[in-house]
Chains A and B, each alone.
Chain A
Amino acid sequence: MKKTAPHSTSTRRFYGHGIPGVNPADLAGKLIAVEGADGSGRSTQIAQLVDWLETGGRPTVQVGLKRSTLVSAELEKAQGGNILSRTTLALFYATDFADQLENIILPALRAGFIVLADRYIYTLMARDMVRGMDQAWLKNLYGLALEPDGVFYLSVEPPELVQRNLAKSATLDYWESGMDLGLSPDLFDSFLKYQGRMQAAFKDLQKSYDFEIIDANRPVEAVTRDLRKKITVLLNGD
Chain B
Amino acid sequence: MATKTFKDMGYPGRLVAVEGLDGSGKSTQIYLLKRWLEAEGIKVYFSEWNSSELVKAATSKGKKRELLTPTTFSLIHATDFADRYERHLLPLLRAGYVVLCDRYVFTAFARDVVRGCPPEWVRGIYNFAALPDLTFFFKADLEVSLQRILDGRPKLKFFEAGMDLHLSTDIYESFRMFQGRILEQYLAMSREFNFMVMDANQRVEIQQVLVRKLVKENIDLARFKRRGPLPLPPSVRRPKKVEPPDLLGEEEGGV
Contacts and interface: CB of A to CB of B under 8 A. Distances in A.
A19 B116 CA distance: 9
Interface in A76-126: 78, 83-88, 90-92, 94-95, 98-99, 102-103
B61 interface: yes
A74 B83 CA distance: 13
Interface string B83-98: 1011100000000000
Contact of B121 (A17, A71, A73, A78): A17
Most chain B CB within 10 A, of A69, A73, A83, A91, is at A91
B55 A94 contact: no
A4 interface: no
Interface in B48-63: 54-55, 57-58, 61-62
Contacts of B125: 91, 137, 140-141
Nearest to B65: A69
B83 A137 contact: no
Contacts of A73: 58
Given A92-B79, A94-B75, A95-B75, A69 B67 contact: yes
B58 A144 contact: no
A78 B58 CA distance: 11
B14 to A, nearest CB: 22
Contacts of A102: 69, 71-72
Given A74-B57, A144-B121, A99 B67 contact: yes
14 contacts: A17-B120, A20-B118, A71-B76, A74-B54, A83-B87, A84-B54, A87-B86, A87-B128, A88-B54, A91-B79, A91-B82, A91-B125, A95-B79, A141-B124
Contacts of B128: 87, 137
Given A88-B79, A143-B121, A78 B54 contact: yes
A57 interface: no
A56 interface: no
B62 A70 contact: yes
Contact of B124 (A88, A92, A137): A137
A102 B72 CA distance: 9
Interface residues of B, number: 31
Interface of B: 54-55, 57-58, 61-62, 67-72, 75-76, 78-79, 82-83, 85-87, 115-118, 120-121, 124-125, 127-128
A98 B118 contact: no
Contacts of A84: 54, 83
Nearest to A99: B72
A199 B105 CA distance: 34
Nearest to B123: A140
Given A91-B125, A99-B67, A102-B71, A20 B79 contact: no
Interface in A23-58: none
A16 interface: yes
Contacts of B75: 91, 94-95, 98
A185 interface: no
Nearest to B115: A20
